[in-house]
Structure 1
Amino acid sequence: MQILLQAAAAVPASIPSPDWSGFDIPLPWGSLRIHAYALCILAGIVLGLWLTSVRWARRGAPEGSVWDIVIWAIPFGIIGGRLYHVVSSPDQYFGPGFDGTGDLWLIPQIQRGGLGIWGAVVLGVVGAWIGCRRAGVKLTAFLDAAAPGLLLAQAIGRWGNYFNQELFGGPTTLPWGLQIDADNPNFPAGMPADTLFHPTFLYESLWNIAGVVILLALDRRFHFRRARLFWLYAMYYTLGRVWIEAMRIDDAEQINLVGITTRLNVWTSIFVFIAALVVFVLVGMKGRPEPDTPYLAGRGPAPEADDSESTSGDGDAGDTGVKSDDHVAAVVPAVRNADTRVSDSESRDNLPVIQNGSGNASTPTEDEPAVRDGKKSVPATPGTGDSGRKVTESAPEAGTSK
C-alpha cells in the first residue's frame, strides 16, 4: 500500500508544458524549421487516409481512386481552414477593427497554428467533389467512407495545439490541468505564473477518438449511404465542439444573437448541428440507393463477357453464326453414341439396297426410283391395292421453291 501511495505522489498533478516544439534541418543557405504542430497535422492526415482507404476499398471503389480524390481534397482543405481562421480571428492579421496595424505576412504561416475546421471541411468537400468527378465515383459514397477517418485526423491534429501552447481553456485546479509557460505570448496577462488551465486540446482529442469508435459501430450496424454517416459525423463533432469551445479563453470573434453573445465558433457549431440533423433525416427518408454502388452512372466497370455465348450465333460482336470445330467435335460423339436399339426393319429402311455386290448407292434399283427426263418413278404405296404398279411424278425444276 505504501508503494502505491508513493507512486501516486510521484505522478505529476498537472500536464506539463512541452519543452520541445520542433527541430531544424540544416541547409546550405540556413536551416529549415520543422514544427511539431505541422507534424501533428501530417500524422493526423496519414492515419485518417489509412482508415479512409480501408473503408473505401470495402465499398468496392476502384483501386487507387482514393489518392485521386485526396490530392484535391487536402490542399483545398488546408486553404479553407486557414481562410476561416483568418476571418474568425482577424485582429493579428488586419489589426483591431481592421485598422491596418496587423501583419498580413502572418496569413500564410500556418506553422504558427490556426486552421478552422469548418473552412477546412467546406473547401475540402469542394476538392473531394472535383476528385470524385475525375475518378468517376459518387461524392456521397466517399464522404461516408471518409467520415471516421476525418474525425481521427482531427483527434491527432489537435495535439499540435499542445506543442504550440495555444487554444486552452480557463483556469482550473483539476489534477489534469495544463501548464503554460509564463513567458509564452499566449499566457493570459495578469494571471499567476503557476496557473493551470483546462487542456481543451485533450478534451477534443478524446471526444473525437470516442466518436471514431461510435461512427464505426453505427455504420457496421446500419450501413449508412447517401452521405448520412458524414452528416452524423457533423452532428457528433459539433455537439462536443459547443461545450469545448465555450471553455476557451483565447481571442475570438464574439457574435450576439437573440440577446446571447458568444464566440463565433459556438454559433457556427450550433447552426451546423441543426443543418446536419435536418439533412440526415431528409436523406434517410429516401432509403438506400439502387443500385448500391460507389460509381457514378455510366462510370462503373464493364461487365465481363460470357464465354458460353461466344458461339451462340445470335448476333454478338464477332459471332458469325458458324459453330467452331470444338463445338462440332462435341456434337459428333453424341451422334455416334446415339441409341442403337432400333428394329431390323428400321435399319434396313435406312440403308441403301446393294445389288450385285456393287455397293454403289447411286445406281438406281427396283427399290430406288430412277429419274428419267425430269420424271422419277415412285413405287406405289403399300395398301393401295396396286403393289406392282409404279407411279410417275414430275421432279421439281431447278431453281423453284418447294
Structure 2
Amino acid sequence: MELAFIPSPSTGVIHLGPIPLRGYAFCIILGVFIAVWLGNKRWIARGGKPGTVADIAVWAVPFGLVGGRLYHVVTDYQLYFVEGRNWVDAFKIWEGGLGIWGAIALGAVGAWIGCRRRGIPLPAWADALAPGIALAQAAGRWGNWFNQELYGRETDLPWALEISDGPNRIAGTYHPTFLYESLWCIGVALLVIWADRRFKLGHGRAFALYVAAYCAGRGWIEYMRVDDAHHILGLRLNVWTAIVVFVLAVVYFVLSAKLRPGRETVVEPERSLPEGPAKTAEAGPTDAKAEPEAEADPASEPAEDAAGSKKL
C-alpha cells in the first residue's frame, strides 16, 4: 500500500489567454537567470565589472541550447529518424530533450567567443559561473517533472513519483530521478562555493570541480533510469560519458594546480584610453607649460632724457 507519492502534473502547459506557458521552457529560463545572477555576483567579487557575465551569456546560452539539442538528437536519433517517426519533432525543443554534455561543450564555444571579444580569460569566467550552472541544472530538471519523463525504476517508497499512462510510458510509481539530480546539483553548487572560498581556486579549477562532482552524481543517477538509451558493454551511453568527462576534469584540475597555482589577480583588465584629442583635453590648461617670456630689447625701450622723461 502506498502511503505517499509525488504527483505529476496533468499537463506541462499552462495557457495564459492565447499564450502557452510550457513548464519545461519555464524551468530552463529560470535556470539561466539563476546562473547569470549568481555568476554576476561572483564575477564582481573577483574584481570584474557588473554586466560582463550577462554580456558573455548572450553568446553562451544560444550556443548551449543548440549543443544540448544536438547531443540529444544524435544520441537518440531513433526517436526522430526511423520509420514511423517524424523528423520535424527534432526541432520541438519544448517537448524536452537537452543533453547537458552538448550544452556545456558548445556553450563553452559561445563563451569563448564572448570572452575573446571582451579580452577576458575564459577559465576565470567559467570559475565564476560554475556554481550558477549547477543551480541552473537543478531548476531545469524540474522541466522533466512537467513532461513526465526521465524517471527511474518502479518503487513504492514514500517519495515515489506518480506517472500517468501516456505515449511511451506506463502508469505507476517510479524513482524520481529528476529530483535526485536536482538535489545533487544543489549540493554540487554548495561544494564549489565552499571549496572556492576555502582554497581560492583559479584558472578554471572551480569549473573543473563542478564538472567532476556533477559527473560523479550523474553516473549513479543515470544507472537508475529506465528510458530507452544506447548501451556500450552493458552500460548506458551517458554513464560512459560521465566517466570520461569525470576523468578529464580531474586531470585538468591536477595539472592546472601544478602549472598555474593560485588565482588570477586580474580577471577583467582595464582598457587603455585612446590617444588623440581626448588625451590632450584630459591634461587641461594647468598641465601646459607656460611659454618663456621674451627678454626685453634695450634698444626697443624709449630712451630717458636727463630729466628722466621718456622721449615719445
- Interval of TM-score (by shorter of Structure 1 and Structure 2): 0.7 to 0.9
For 1:323-402, list aligned pairs within 5 A.
none
- The partner residue of 1:39 within 26, 42, 61 is 26
Larger Rg: 1
1:246 aligned to 2:223?
A: yes
- Distance in 1, matches of 2:189 and 2:263, equals 28
- Distance in 1, matches of 2:29 and 2:14, equals 15
The answer to whether the 8 A contact 1:166-1:186 is kept is: no
Tell me which residue corresponds to 2:298: none
Q: Secondary structure at the match of 2:235?
A: strand
Q: Gaps spanning 5+ residues in structure 1: where? A: 1-8, 304-317, 324-402
Tell me which residue corresponds to 1:74: 61
- Distance in 2, matches of 1:291 and 1:21, equals 44
- The partner residue of 1:19 within 5, 10, 17 is 10
Shift in Å at residue 12 of structure 1?
Answer: 5.2
- Distance in 1, matches of 2:287 and 2:135, equals 54
- The partner residue of 2:254 within 268, 278, 281 is 281
- The partner residue of 1:83 within 46, 64, 70 is 70
Amino acid at match of 1:281: V
Tell me which residue corresponds to 1:208: 185
| Number of corresponding residues | 280
Amino acid at match of 1:239: A
- Distance in 1, matches of 2:139 and 2:6, equals 17
Decide which moves more: 51-60 or 12-21: 12-21
1:265-288 Cα distance to aligned partner (Å, 9 max, x none): 000000000011111100010233
1:219 aligned to 2:196?
A: yes
Q: Secondary structure at the match of 1:14?
A: coil
The answer to whether the 8 A contact 1:14-1:175 is kept is: yes
* Richer in helix (by share): 2
Tell me which residue corresponds to 1:165: 148
The 1:275–1:16 alpha-carbon spacing in structure 2 relative to 1, beyond 3 Å, is same
Decide which moves more: 62-71 or 197-206: 62-71
The answer to whether the 8 A contact 2:4-2:158 is kept is: yes
Shift in Å at residue 263 of structure 1?
Answer: 1.1
1:308-358 Cα distance to aligned partner (Å, 9 max, x none): xxxxxxxxxx956669xxxxxxxxxxxxxxxxxxxxxxxxxxxxxxxxxxx
1:153 aligned to 2:156?
A: no
- Distance in 2, matches of 1:163 and 1:230, equals 29
Q: Over the residues paired in the alignment, what is the CA RMSD in angstroms?
A: 2.2
For 1:77-156, list aligned pairs within 5 A.
77-95=64-82, 100-156=83-139
Please report the TM-score for the alignment, with normalisation by the length of structure 2: 0.84
The answer to whether the 8 A contact 1:149-1:212 is kept is: yes
The answer to whether the 8 A contact 2:202-2:264 is kept is: no
1:185 aligned to 2:167?
A: yes
Please report the TM-score for the alignment, with normalisation by the length of structure 1: 0.66
- Distance in 2, matches of 1:301 and 1:58, equals 19
- Distance in 1, matches of 2:64 and 2:31, equals 13
The 1:107–1:32 alpha-carbon spacing in structure 2 relative to 1, beyond 3 Å, is farther
The answer to whether the 8 A contact 1:44-1:153 is kept is: yes
Where in structure 1 do 4 or more consecutive aligned residues deviate above 3 Å? 287-291, 318-323
Shift in Å at residue 210 of structure 1?
Answer: 1.1
Shift in Å at residue 301 of structure 1?
Answer: 4.3
Amino acid at match of 1:87: V
1:199 aligned to 2:176?
A: yes
- Distance in 1, matches of 2:97 and 2:263, equals 42
1:262 aligned to 2:235?
A: yes
The answer to whether the 8 A contact 1:52-1:145 is kept is: yes
1:12-43 Cα distance to aligned partner (Å, 9 max, x none): 511112234222244xxxx4422111111111
Shift in Å at residue 234 of structure 1?
Answer: 0.6
